[in-house]
Structure 1
Amino acid sequence: MPAGEPEKRPDPDALLALSQRDRPGRLKIFLGAAPGVGKTCAMLQEAHRVRAEGRDVVLGLIETHGRAETEALAAGLETLPRRRIDYRGQMLEEFDIDAALARRPALLVVDELAHTNAPQSRHPKRWQDVREVLDAGIDVWTALNIQHLESLADVVARITGVTVRETVPDVMVQEAQDVVLVDIPPDELIARLKAGKVYLPQTARRAVEKFFTPGNLTALRELALRRTAERVDDQMTEILRQKAIEGPWASAERLLVCLFPDGSGDALIRQTARLASALNAGWVALVLAPPYDPGAVSEAERRATDAMRLVETLGGEALRLTSAEFAEDILRVARRENVTQILLGHRRQGRFARLLRRSLPEALAERAEGIAVHVLPLPELEKTAPLPSFDTLRRLVSEPGLLADLGLAVLATSGVVAIGHALAAVMELPNLSMIFLAGVLICGTLRGTRAAVLAALLSFLAYNFFFIEPLYTLSIARPHEFLALLIFLAVASLTGSWTGRIRAQARAALTQTRMIEAQAAFSRQLSAASSAEDVAWAMVTQVHGLMGGKAILLLVEGNELLPCAAWPPEEIADPVEMTAARWAFEKGETAGWRTATLPNLRWRFHPLATPRHVVAVLGYEPPDRDQPLSAADEAKLAAAVEQTAVALDRALLVREAVKAAAMQENENIRDALLASLGHDLRTPLAAITGAVTTLQRGEDALREDQRTDLLDTIGQEAGRLNRFVGNLLEMSRIDQGVVKVRRDWVDVGDAIRLAVDRARKAHPGRQTRISLAPDLGFVRGDQELLSQVVFNLLDNAHKYGETEVSVHARNESDEVVISVTDDGPGVKPADLERIFEKFFRAGGTDRRKPGTGLGLSICRGLVRAMGGTIKAESPAIRRRGTRLIVRLPLADLPAELSRDEEAR
């Protein structure tokens, strides 16, 4: 390798793609333009050939569609039995992937890659089955029609009028090691169709009338040919990259046009677009610009922005390149973009300029190995480049910052002259040029290239006038001093120019860093936003902070656009402006100020589009509507729109998920309530109705004890209904937050005794054991509600317990602890928290246990209202039972209550 030449290494991305594609199984696709071209027959013929060579070939699934020739080709090859699936009373036959994996042939033939599997299959699509077989190390051959390719489905629908439902992702074709095109002329295919070799006669007749027309077949054939050619081109490009053969690769033409922001690029752009259209080639426009001070937007910057818009309008890709070495950077971009031809506009140069340096076309032609360089004549450049006129000079003088640069140059030069005189007064210095260079460097560092060049010119004159004999004249007595002065001017000019360029690059880098930091902060802000409103506020403040002007975000609600956030806070009242906003929403295109739709409006509207739909519209009003946005501002705005669209879509999805969860919860509660009403109302009503009917019909024949029993039944069931309705009302009050808890001093022991007495009456056949600590304290709350809590706990314990329920209460630290324990089968660990949910019953769907599933939920609501907590433990005793524990904060009694308690 020659010295200084960089080592050529394989493209790491190409090697990574190669390693990913070198999977254990290899895929071969037989691609056709339409059904009936002979894909399956070609695949079977090839399978017979490789089987004759000794390879293990198995037919996983072949669709013959009743064709005799296909059935004859399939005969003689081992065929796997199909998997039979009973779906809605119909027996379906599908590819048996498990049988294929168990058989593990060297080559498996699977027809119709785009087929949709039966609902009970492992994968919904056959191409997913094929991918699993490939991952298992089995080679697969398959067949595919071009209309089933995912990226071409909409194109095929426009061509044929038939919407393709079964599609295959393009990645399957990209990952295939071989793609074989099976093709026949449209007339021959139609003849095969009419002869019944493709479909049955009735189906064939309809197909010829609708799908298999000469125009449709020709268009599909062109799509298949183009897609196959693109695949071959991609394969060749990958091979060249893997072998470290540097681009360009002449497999397809790609143009690169270089533009300078001097107003001469429009004609060059249009000429390149026409050439690219004639060559059927892609093209890229590269807008070139030297490093500039990003503090101000110049006329050249505005022209560059207009040129990039024109490129995008004509279908090209616009890139921007800020560089000091154009030739090297242009070639770097060209090789990266796989460009085969570079186009430049020709500008006539003077002889002196040609002597100083080579032109850009000459530099490119010398270095562009394998890339054609075209120089296009632009006659209008000669007309637009006359000698400087008075208007040109006036524009140059009036350019912002010129007076400041000139003032700094005069000040620096005056200071250097003063320093030079002071030094000359105390010592003899043979040459003071280095001091003047210091002034030039100071101007270049503080103000840039223009100030440095002005300082170099003033230093040249001041050095001659004040320090070269004869003094105080511009004459030069000795020739060597004249040569030294010229060298000083050249060195000062170059030094100042490079200093200014470094300063501009440093400021540009600083601006870029600040923009990256702002975008990173904006990304963090969007990530932390939990709602659509937060995202909207982050968006409008970001746009206003980066670009000034006004910003408003209109959120899509149904089919309407509603203001969500604005900065400064205001709304768009003009109906015409809202018309542009609706256009952006409905069409998914930018509308308003300086766009193709309603360009004279004050606002510009950008749709925030996601893969699903447009979620919002951003309105932006620039601070100066007479000036277009620069390319940098356009990039900032586009980045903010893309980031916000993703964040807003995420926030809306979260909102939808919360709504869906709430709806599901309401649905569950509704189902549980209906089930509970169906049982817990019907049972007592049936008992009451039966007792009343018996009393009415057999009033004279009933004994007194029977009448008493029936009346007791009516009373008990009526009480049961009353508790059920009371629980529903109590739960409704808790959910609505209207439960009012009195803040009295409550004797916990009295509340427990009242609840136990009530429970003994409700469950007369059950035993309740009570144990209260002698020093049991008081709590602040409502004695009636606390008694209701303990009763609900006892009621629940009696329902699920077996023989005995115990109640304990004690003081523990600064709390009163009440526990109710049963001796039932207990609660599963996963249900210990769920038993406090509404309508949840530990018995599941078992309705033999009476109740509504509201008791414990009411307990939790009431305990929380009194500032306490409740939890469940299981097992409780001897690996059985459930213990429900209530903790309430102790209350400090006033002095008089303390004395009464001590006396009692």
Structure 2
Amino acid sequence: MARHTEKERPDPTALLQLAAREGRGKLTVFLGAAPGVGKTYAMLERARGLKAQGVDVVIGLVETHGRGETARLAEGLETLPRQGEGDAYREFDLDAALARRPALLIVDELAHSNAPGSRHPKRHQDIAELIHAGINVWTALNIQHLESLSDLVARIAGIPVRETVPDIVLKTADEVILVDLPPAELIARLNEGKVYLPDNAARALDGFFKPATLTALRELALRRAADRVDDQMVEFLRQSAVEGPWATGERLLVCVGPDTMSEKVVRTASRLASGLNARWLVVSLNRPDAALPSPADAVRLEEVLRLAERFGAETRRESASDFVDAILRIARREHITQIVIGRPTTTRWLRRSLPDALLRQAGEIGVHVVPGATSSAGRKPRRRLTLPEWALTLGLPLVSVGATTIFGLGLTALVALQNLSMLYLAAVLVSAVIAGRGSALVAAALSFAAYNFFFIEPTGALTVAQPQEVLSLVIFVAVAFAAGQLAARLREQADLSRQQARQSQALLDFSRKLSGAHGQDSVFDAIASHLHTSLGRPAVVLVPDDSGDLDPAAAWPPEQALDGTELTAARWAFDKKEPAGFLTGTLPQVRYLFRPIIAAQRILGVAGLGMGPRDVPLAADEERTLIALLDQAAIAMDRARLNRESAMASVAREGEKVQAALLSSLSHDLRTPLASITGAVTTLRQLGEKLPVETREDLLLSIEEESVRLNRFVANLFDMTRIEAGMMKARREAIDLNTVVASSVARAKRLHPDLLIDISLAPNLPSALGDGTLLEQVLFNLLDNARKYGAAEQPVSIFAKAEDGHATISVTDQGKGIPEADLEKIFEKFYRRAKSDGRPAGTGLGLSIARGLMTAMGGTIKATSPAVRKRGTRFTLRLPLATKEE
């Protein structure tokens, strides 16, 4: 058989991607440059051909837009009913399609937005669920609806694009079929009324359907279709281990931040990556000592990263003190060929911008700088301060500088000071530490004015008479600004350290709480309560039950209840291992944000956070806290699950052990007497009168003895079953111990005539409280056990007395004894100790039955070894004494 060489071996990643598609449906996208090129027509025409070949083709939704030729093609194909009531634009019924499960489903208008209240906000998410369920789907898309091209198309056509589809949908489609039509023919179709009705057609000719616009859109569609074909070719080459031609290998690194410029950078990079057929990585950098971003900046950065993911990029967050060094390090590690970065709209005084520094140090890596907007609309909006912030930022410098001035005036009236400016540095530092950098700058400016006006000659005016005073004033201003900046930065770092300390302490407290939780229920309660405490939102934990249904296991506050829609969102998060609910791609209208709890790629449950109607997506620090808490929760839940499974496995092992012992006992203790009985009966039938009388008597006696042995074994099994089932009902009455001991000894003598028994009962032995029949059985089992394990030439001793309100009976043999470690094991079912010849003796049920019967009577049994002269075993029975009334 041929073997692949190392060079010819298929790409493992490509093979894994191919394996992941097994069991999923296939997505085919009919791509066009503009409405009216015939996408739906081509889709229905091919579908009719497959229907004629016997393929199960169903129309989930088709928009004909009043075109008669398209409507005629849909006739004769099964069409699913739509949801809701009204005109032809009712919504696609996703659940009906999943229940019907055709071989091929046609769902038109890929970029459509679903009505509020639908399971998914976008139709491409409905189609993704159909694909995941194993249903093949055909759909149609115009090139202007690709999210990365929407802003470019808006500039080309002058019309905003409202409905968009993430680029990753087209990139991961199994097949892209380009439906092309030259602009002249499309305009002719429009004039003939084959695209829109006459009124709409006239407006379209004045707007979207211009030759230049259609030509540009056609070029975009052709490029995207060619890119998809090239991707398919590369996938085939990798899977088949075929040498080139391969893609050029371009890789882009895109740098983004929380500014409004980043969205434009991502869109530009997406078009570059598509044109170069390149992989691209989007990185967001922040400094370890930087202050926490404002909520608006955090939300904006999250939106930028999510936009990049929808365009098909990989996203990362990195922390570094030197941005240039970090960017170049990532670029070299990831084999980046081009860096894409936005040009800042403003420059800092005496500081080189980040793009300039990258251009100077990038070496062979290309740097693509995206220009920023020149209008005010493109600038980053300044964060507006609320009234308390304004009051603190301006009021604190006024108070501190004013107090310093009054204090300085009073002090100079008493003492002539040469370095009064140091007092104003204190005012700047106080403002910086309490109110931040802005307050420090205001305090420095006010200090400059106050010091000049009140303390530098000529006083009472903002002028300087002496040249040396000018230098002192300049130095003072520089020092004040520097000190204010350092103090403000120190304050920000202290705030950040406190924030990180709180998060670390929260994780430590959570870990301690989880480590102290016993059982799954306590773990679930700990997770819900700590999520609520750390994030300040209602929290709920849902886990699957034995039937697979997702049920709430814990909630904090406890009175929370989830409705049907919220449970559906939770189930989606559990099944798909992705977020669902509040402001996500699945059921975004519900009030809970659900996140899966995953450990080692195994889904354990779902955590839900209650969100308010005015809430925004989680901020970056909240997101980090939530991820860390869910990771800890996954470890705790996995540990609780493993403990539970370990306990169940231990029980199962014990059951298997008992079952094996039972089978061993059955095979030995039943087979031996049955073989003896069968042999004796066969001999008697075959020889009969030919045998001597003594021989026949011996055979009959053997049959009788083995039958008694079988009966005793079956009786022991029956008694053990009754004890374990709780069916053993013992009488509680006064019993004569002398009579019980005598009857048990007589029974043992009948079975074992050679057994030596020494009886010693205390005189005037009072009655005990118990069941005489059961106590006789216990004593018989102990005597039978003593015969098996005791010394044959030594007697078995029975002693009884009354002490401490109890009757005590002991049975002692003089055998080899029992090791101390086995004194409790001998009371377990089927536990047997071997004799010197290695053969197991008895069934291993006698002592187990004895303990069960004593427990049923309210008594105890205990084994002690050695008993006599460092040999033997003593079994001690204790029963309460009977009162006179009893």
CA contact (8 A) 1:778 1:890 kept: no
Q: Secondary structure at the match of 2:384?
A: helix
CA contact (8 A) 2:730 2:771 kept: no
- 1:506 aligned to which of 494, 500, 510: 494
1:155 to 10, 13, 18: 18
Q: How high is the TM-score relative to the length of structure 2?
A: 0.62
Matches within 5 A, 1:389-428: 396-398=384-386, 401-428=389-416
- Verify: 1:308 aligned to 2:305, yes or no: yes
2:615 to 626, 648, 658: 626
**152-161 or 853-862: bigger deviation:** 152-161
Aligned with 1:347 (options 337, 344, 365): 344
2:423 aligns with 435
Q: Which amino acid aligns with 1:506?
A: A
Instruction: Choose the corresponding residue for 2:625, options 636, 642, 656.
Output: 636
CA contact (8 A) 2:258 2:300 kept: yes
Q: 1:477 to 1:617 in 2, by over 3 A?
A: same
Residue of structure 2 equivalent to 1:211? none
Pick one of 813, 818, 821 that aligns with 1:821: 813
Cα distance in 1 for partners of 2:767, 2:484 equals 89
Determine the structure 1 residue equivalent to 2:37: none
Please tell me the residue identity of whatever aligns with 1:820. T
Q: Which of 142, 146, 150 is the equivalent residue of 2:10?
A: 146
Q: Which whole-Å deviations, capped at 9, do the CAs of 1:160-185 have from their partners, x for residues lacking one? A: 99xxxxxxxxxxxxxxxxxxxxxxxx
Displacement, 1:255?
3.1
In structure 2, which of residues 826, 830, 834 is the aligned counterpart of residue 839 of structure 1? 830
- Aligned mates of 2:245, 2:633 — CA distance in 1: 39
Q: Which residue of 1 aligns with 2:569?
A: 580
The 5-angstrom pairing of residues 657-806 of structure 1 reads 657-670=646-659, 672-673=661-662, 721=711, 724-725=714-715, 728-729=718-719, 732-733=722-723, 736=726, 755-770=744-759, 788-801=777-790, 803=792, 804=794, 806=796
Question: Contact between 1:290 and 1:322, CA under 8 Å: does it hold in 2?
Answer: yes
* Counterpart check, 1:857 vs 2:834: no
Q: What is the DSSP-based 3-state SS (H/G/I as helix, E as strand, rest coil) of the residue aligned with 1:401? A: helix
Q: Is the 8 A contact 1:550 1:567 kept in 2?
A: yes
Gaps of 5+ in 2: 25-230
Please state how far the C-alpha of 1:337 moved relative to its aligned partner. Answer: 5.1
Paired with 1:766 and 1:228, the residues of 2 have a C-alpha distance of 93
State the shift of 1:796 in Å.
Answer: 1.9
- Structure 1: which amino acid aligns with 2:829? K
SS in 2 for 1:255: strand
Matched with 1:100 is none
Using the TM superposition, give the Cα deviation of residue 374 of structure 1 relative to its aligned residue in structure 2, in angstroms. 2.7
Shift of 1:596: 0.8
Q: Distance in 2 between matches of 1:420 and 1:782?
A: 104
Do 1:681 and 1:721's aligned partners in 2 also have CA atoms closer than 8 Å? Answer: no
Residues 348, 448 of structure 1: alpha-carbon distance in 2 compared, 3 angstrom cutoff? closer
Q: Which AA in structure 2 matches 1:261? A: P
Amino acid at match of 2:718: L
**1:558-573 alignment to 2 at 5 Å?**
558-573=547-562
- Where does residue 257 of structure 2 map in the other structure? 260
Residue 654 (str. 1) matches residue 648 (str. 2): no
Please state how far the C-alpha of 1:286 moved relative to its aligned partner.
2.8
Counterparts of 2:22 and 2:243 in 1: how far apart (Å)?
Answer: 16
Q: Secondary structure at the match of 1:437?
A: helix
Change (3 A) 1:851 1:889: closer
Deviation at 1:784, TM superposition (A): 7.3
What CA distance in whole angstroms lies between the structure 2 residues aligned with 1:630 and 1:155? 36
* 1:485 matched to 2:476: no
> Gapped runs of 5+ residues in structure 1?
1-34, 44-141, 162-214, 234-250, 898-904
CA shift for structure 1 position 436: 0.8
Q: Do 2:289 and 2:496's aligned partners in 1 also have CA atoms closer than 8 Å? A: yes
Q: Give me the whole-angstrom Cα distance separating, in 2, the residues matched to 1:811 and 1:412.
A: 96
Cα gap change, 1:294 to 1:741, in 2 (>3 Å): farther
* 1:595 alignment partner AA: T
Change in 2 beyond 3 A, CA 1:811/1:547 = farther
Equivalent position of 2:797 in the other structure: 807
2:255/2:341 contact within 8 Å kept: yes
Task: Report if aligned partners of 1:160, 1:216 keep a CA contact under 8 Å in 2.
Answer: no
Shift of 1:265: 0.6
Question: Do residues 606 (structure 1) and 603 (structure 2) align?
Answer: no
- Following superposition of structure 1 onto structure 2, how do residues 191-270 of structure 1 map, counting pairs within 5 Å? 221-223=237-239, 225=241, 253-270=250-267
Counterpart code for 1:821: D
Contact 1:440 1:452 in 2 (8 A): yes
Alignment partners' CA distance in 2, 1:499 and 1:781: 87
Give the 3 Å change call, closer, same or farther, for CA 420–569 of structure 1 in structure 2: same
Residues 279-290 of structure 1: pairs in structure 2 closer than 5 A = 279-289=276-286
Distance in structure 1 (CA, Å) of the matches to 2:779 and 2:243: 77
Contact 1:361 1:375 (C-alpha < 8 Å) held by counterparts: yes
Say whether the 8 Å CA contact 2:286–2:319 is kept in structure 1: yes
1:299 pairs with 2:296 = yes
1:183 equivalent in structure 2: none
What amino acid is aligned across from residue 413 of structure 1 in structure 2?
Answer: V
Does the C-alpha gap of structure 1 residues 276 and 601 become closer, same or farther in structure 2, counting only changes over 3 Å?
same
How far 1:421 sits from its partner (Å)? Answer: 2.5
2:282 aligned counterpart, secondary structure: strand
1:176-229 Cα shifts (integer Å, max 9, x gaps): xxxxxxxxxxxxxxxxxxxxxxxxxxxxxxxxxxxxxxx999965433558999
Please say if residues 409 and 452 of structure 1, whose CA atoms lie closer than 8 Å, have aligned partners that are also in contact: yes
Matched, 1:546 2:534: yes
Structure 2 vs 1, CA of residues 888 and 434 (structure 1 numbering), >3 Å: closer, same or farther? farther
- Give the alignment partner of residue 317 of structure 2, picking from 315, 320, 327: 320
Instruction: Find the aligned partners of 2:323 and 2:265 in 1 and give their Cα distance.
Output: 18
Task: Report what 1:206 is aligned to.
Answer: none
Q: Residues 562, 216 of structure 1: CA spacing in aligned structure 2 closer, same or farther, 3 A cutoff?
A: same
**Structure 1 568/462 Cα, relative in aligned 2: closer, same or farther at 3 Å?**
same
Answer whether contact 2:14 2:238 (CA < 8 A) is retained.
Answer: no
Q: Does the 8 Å CA contact 1:777/1:890 hold for their aligned counterparts? A: no
How far off its partner does 1:526 sit? 3.7
Say if 2:447 is the partner of 1:459. Answer: yes
Structure 1 residue 590 corresponds to structure 2 residue 579:
yes
CA distance in 2 between partners of 1:335 and 1:767 (Å): 93
Q: 1:345 to 1:723 in 2, by over 3 A?
A: closer
Equivalent residue for 1:372? 366
